[in-house]
Amino acid sequence: MKRACVIGWPVEQSRSPLIHGYWLRRYGIDGAYTREAVRPVDAGQFLRSLTLRDLVGCNVTVPHKETAFAVASERDNAAVAIGAANTVWVDNGRLHCSNTDAYGFMTHLERSAPEWRQWDAPVTLLGAGGAARAIIHGFLEAGVGEVRVFNRSVERGEGLAAHFGSRVVARSWDERSAGSRASSVIVNTTTLGMRNVGELGIDFAGFDARTVVSDIVYVPLETAFLAKARAHGLKTVDGLGMLLHQAVPGFEKWFGVRPEVTDELRAVIVADISGRY
């Protein structure tokens, strides 16, 4: 039996076991996927001892993503660009790592709103944390000419601009509405709106009708940010698809099958969200 897990501190909130458990059953694979609560001080040692723990790999959630990147022997291009890892696996005794968040976000965006590419315009990101780094990488790899980052701390946004180069521009948080109206996509990468806590304060009046509005928050599935955008007639993309699609590469690495993100899988996770929320 092949075994994998997700590690974090805390980790009880992770829905990864539901996703991977669904795929294990669907494809008839003799495998297991569990949660492992790992303290930050123990994360490096845990990752270095995956084989001894009879694990083929694991997902990594907060606060261990930078540790996973640091201890891995081999890092893919996405992990290097983002500076953190969320997926690790052992190959020929060496620890490999990747960051699949950019893949997950961009795949969901392409499937939900492929029309975003038909308009040559800047992309707007709200927030400058770890999720923003991944999504910036995804848009730059897709050929976007300018990514605007609006963050309460302009300095943090400027740090992203310095890391990624001249196609990333840091802007003042106070300019977030006016500075986003001609964007092809606007993405909330913060936790504002999770469980209906916090407000982004975006005024969608005057936004171009072609703008796609996306939120990485998926509890609730339609955040106040998305509901407000929809009320203004804008196309919206929820955050759940990113969670589902980012899980695909890891499952393939660990269990040898490229899984599909299906409506049935989405329904399983939606039911769990409804039950907990």
- Please give the positions annotated as active site: 65
Residue whose pair of structure tokens reads 């796609």 in the numeric block: 212
Decide if 2 contacts 51 (C-beta within 8 A): no
Which residues sit opposite 170 in a β-bridge?
Answer: 149
Cα distances from 55 to residues 49, 51, 151, 177, 252, in angstroms, run 9, 5, 39, 47, 15
- DSSP assignment of the chain equals -EEEEEEESS-TT--HHHHHHHHHHHTT--EEEEEEE--GGGHHHHHHTTTTTT-SEEEE-TT-HHHHHHH-SEE-HHHHHHT--SEEEEETTEEEEE--HHHHHHHHHHHH-GGGGGS---EEEE--SHHHHHHHHHHHHTT-S-EEEEESSHHHHHHHHHHH-TTEEEEEGGGTTGGGTT-SEEEE-SSTTGGG--------TT--TT-EEEES--SSSS-HHHHHHHHTT-EEE-SHHHHHHHTHHHHHHHHS------HHHHHHHHHHHHHH-
